[in-house]
């Protein structure tokens, strides 16, 4: 059985957490909703669904400095920017299911075969407090991949009227449960939570009408459409701006640059986000192996629904719908997938 917290005590609870942790929560800045570091808990906004910007920049920022170097006394001095133990001990509050699932996908790329120590430090130090959505945004299709509540979280809040029902998903989550704020939930509260989640998922399903749960079946279907005319059609529409990559919570391509001063005696090594939609992405000294736009459009869709299934057994799309929302050419990934699995 879980616990519950009165809605009017949540702000106080977050203030209490902020005394020990760096707190991240949904805010609106210049008209854009995102999960940001909170200085004042009154800045937190109450959205019924996901933010426009995902959690990705918290763990995998658009620009990551690796180290600084300087030629000195006949040698080279190096200052590492790796976060220290205990840095960034954080609570991320108000995260939605699609974004928790997206971070699990990012973990595979960043922590599995090749470990990124910068990502690992931030990820290990972050406690996730998620919350069930009230209803989906127009572009959301998360239930195509499963339910609205992810398998892994530390705490999970669901609206049950004057309270949030709180599921405890980990030891770290359990440690945050203080009698000052939480009380034991009853069986009736638990039933309310289940009914609430079912009713929101039913609403989303009614809108989404896509079921990709059988990964093996759908990955094969999409893989077999490599020569389909859809790529030519989408290639003509796409303007190669890369917005879909940058906004996606699971896209993780990057470039590494050395930025030095004019005589090369000092500088920094920096990692920046890259995009497989950009013309230069596949350019090598010999050739550009994805010169045509249709090849780049296909590559991105395959890198969501085919390659990650072959490599890790998961899709690298969680149905957040952000790429469809920002695409200036009106390419809607949900509609593309529906055509591919027909």
Counting contacts by CB under 6 A, is residue 238 touching ligand SF4?
yes
User: Quick one: 12 or 228, whose CB is closer to ligand SF4?
Assistant: 228
Among 47, 329, 340, 341, binds ligand SF4 (CB under 6 A): 329
Binding of residue 249 to ligand SF4 (CB under 6 A): yes
Contact with ligand SF4 (CB under 6 A) among 244, 306, 336, 337:
244
Task: For ligand SF4, give the closer residue by CB, 35 or 317.
Answer: 317
Beta bridge pairs of residue 91: 23, 127
Residue 96 or residue 271: which is nearer to ligand SF4 going by CB? 96
**Residue 248 interacting with ligand SF4 (CB under 6 A):** yes
Q: Does 314 bind ligand SF4 (CB under 6 A)?
A: no
Nearest distance from C-beta of residue 313 to ligand SF4, angstroms = 17
Q: How far apart are the first and last CA of the chain?
A: 42
Asked if residues 244 and 334 have their Cβ atoms less than 8 Å apart, the reply is: no
Output the smallest distance, CB 46 to ligand SF4, in A: 22
Q: Which residues, 87 to 116, sit near ligand SF4 by CB under 6 A? A: 102
CB of 302 to ligand SF4, least distance (A): 12
* Residues in contact with ligand SF4 by the rule CB under 6 A: 102, 238-244, 247-250, 277, 304, 317-323, 326-329, 331, 333
């Amino acid at each position: 059985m879980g616990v519950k917290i009165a809605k009017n005590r949540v702000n106080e609870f977050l203030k209490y957490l902020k005394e020990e942790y760096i707190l991240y929560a949904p805010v609106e800045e210049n008209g854009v909703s995102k999960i940001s570091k909170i200085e004042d808990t009154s800045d937190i906004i109450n959205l019924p669904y996901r933010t426009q910007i995902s959690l990705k920049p918290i763990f995998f920022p658009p620009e990551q400095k690796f180290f600084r170097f300087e030629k000195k006394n006949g040698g080279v001095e190096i200052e590492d920017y790796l976060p220290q133990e205990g840095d960034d001990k954080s609570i991320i509050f108000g995260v939605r299911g699609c974004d928790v699932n997206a971070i699990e996908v990012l973990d595979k790329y960043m922590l599995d075969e090749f470990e990124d120590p910068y990502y690992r430090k931030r990820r290990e130090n972050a406690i996730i407090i998620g919350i069930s959505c009230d209803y989906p945004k127009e572009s959301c299709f998360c239930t195509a991949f499963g339910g609205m509540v992810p398998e892994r979280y530390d705490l999970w809040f669901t609206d049950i009227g004057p309270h949030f029902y709180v599921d405890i998903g980990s030891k770290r989550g359990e440690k945050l449960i203080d009698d000052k704020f939480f009380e034991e939930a009853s069986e009736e509260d638990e039933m309310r939570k289940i009914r609430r989640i079912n009713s929101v998922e039913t609403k989303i399903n009614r809108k989404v009408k896509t079921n990709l749960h059988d990964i093996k079946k759908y990955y094969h279907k999409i893989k077999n459409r490599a020569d389909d005319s859809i790529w030519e059609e989408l290639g003509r529409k796409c303007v190669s701006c890369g917005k879909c990559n940058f906004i996606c919570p699971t896209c993780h391509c990057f470039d590494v640059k050395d930025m030095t001063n004019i005589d090369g005696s000092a500088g920094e090594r920096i990692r920046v986000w890259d995009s497989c939609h950009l013309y230069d992405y596949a350019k090598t000294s010999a050739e550009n192996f994805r010169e045509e736009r249709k090849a780049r459009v296909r590559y991105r869709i395959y890198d969501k629904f085919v390659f990650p299934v072959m490599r890790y057994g998961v899709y690298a799309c969680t149905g957040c719908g952000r790429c469809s929302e920002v695409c200036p050419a009106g390419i809607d990934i949900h509609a593309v997938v529906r055509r591919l699995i027909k």
